[in-house]
Amino acid sequence: MSEAASLYIGLMSGTSADSIDAALVEFNGDTPRLVAALGIPYDKSIRKKIFELALPSDNEIDRMGVLDRHLGTLFARAVNRLLEENGYSATQITAIGSHGQTIRHRPRAQSIQEQFTLQIGDPNSIAELTGITTVADFRRRDMAAGGQGAPLAPAFHQAVFSSKTEPRCILNIGGVANLTFLPTDGHALGFDTGPGNSLMDSWIQTFGKQQYDKNGKWAASGQVNLQLLNKLLAHSFFRMPAPKSTGKEDFNLDWVNSATEETVTPLTPQDVQATLTELTAITISDAIKGFCAANTTVFICGGGVHNTHLCNRIQYHLPENRVSTTDELNLHPDWVEAVAFAWLAKRTIGRLAGNLPEVTGADREVVLGGIYSA
């Protein structure tokens, strides 16, 4: 590592709440190099507690407080393990950037006073247990500035993936899917498109007794039900203009079950899985066609990149676009978001803005997050 380089760690746990992703990143200026990474799956009991807090229920404050501390400890263990396995010490790391675990995201409440977003995973515990300064709570400053607090990754996409010679579209398929359009003029536009992996994962966990639909094989074995698909596509979020963001508050298994109950045609669990996969593919593709020219290459990152059937359906609906992955841009698709939060931590430590108002709807650029010193 050169004298000008610096090391940061990014921590990410998304809407799917399947694992903690930790990335050790070296920066020379604004240019990141992924040094090492690891993913630590949540056990079933943790995932259950996270999902139970995603929607209103009883005794929320006590349960949230306990889970907040627990997740902070798990995030710290992920950092310590990452360092130990790769021969680094805490003293070599400038800071950790922790997205935290979103348990509630209400950016479109009726009044400004009712809008909020909440991520847990106590940064005090992370800083204390790792001995590394931790930056966290990135979303709420953007929301305080009039934005939706998400998506935040487009600012990173703009800084790292933009090209002066070709337009690009970065498609992140996590629990929620979001895209960033990067024209050659250096500007960026991004927003959440709707469900990514979350509905497919929830359905197969409930009815297929698997953690996720490997390669989309279960979906591929079913038939898309057009009546159900049209009911799902009628959700008002898909017609909203950008900027927009979403989460489990809008797209959850209760919503799917309600739609299936109104469907006259008999449905097998595989048919519903096929339909949910098609819903994800269509809403992503429609969003891309609305903002990206036909010559724009779509680079996929996030867990959805491993769902072969889903990616094939996206390519089917985008016949004039080339679909690839961020591997082609020298960053493995599994670690883009974790690297993004290392980058955002670097921005915060340097007192530099980390949001894009044209993406989140904020009134201005602001420095994101709180700093928890070691």
pLDDT tens, residue by residue, 254-303: 999 999 999 988 999 999 999 999 999 999 999 999 988 888 999 999 99
Model confidence over 305-319: pLDDT tens digits?
999 999 999 999 999
Per DSSP, the residues of 69-118 read HHHHHHHHHHHHHHHHHHT--GGG--EEEEEEEEEEEETT-SSGGG-EEE
CATH number assigned to the domain covering 153-321: 3.30.420.40
> 6-150+337-372 and 153-321: same fold?
yes
Domain-by-domain residue ranges, the chain? Answer: 6-150+337-372, 153-321
> What are the percentages of helix, strand and coil residues in the chain, rounded to 5?
45, 20, 35
CATH number assigned to the domain covering 6-150+337-372: 3.30.420.40
Altogether, the residues listed in the chain come to a count of 374
Q: What's the mean per-residue pLDDT of the chain?
A: 95
Task: Sort 75 into a burial class: Cβ within 10 Å, 0-12 / 13-18 / 19+.
Answer: buried
- The partner residues of 142 in beta bridges, in order of sequence, read none
The stretch 337-352 carries a mean pLDDT of: 98
CA distance 238 to 286: 9
* Rg over CA atoms, the chain: 20
The whole model's pTM is what? 0.95
Ramachandran category for residue 357: left, alpha or beta (phi over 0 → left; psi -120 to 50 → alpha): alpha
CA distance 248 to 175: 9
The SS3 assignment for 171 reads strand
**Which residue is listed with tokens 């056990």?**
43
The count of other CB atoms within 10 Å of the CB of residue 290 is 12
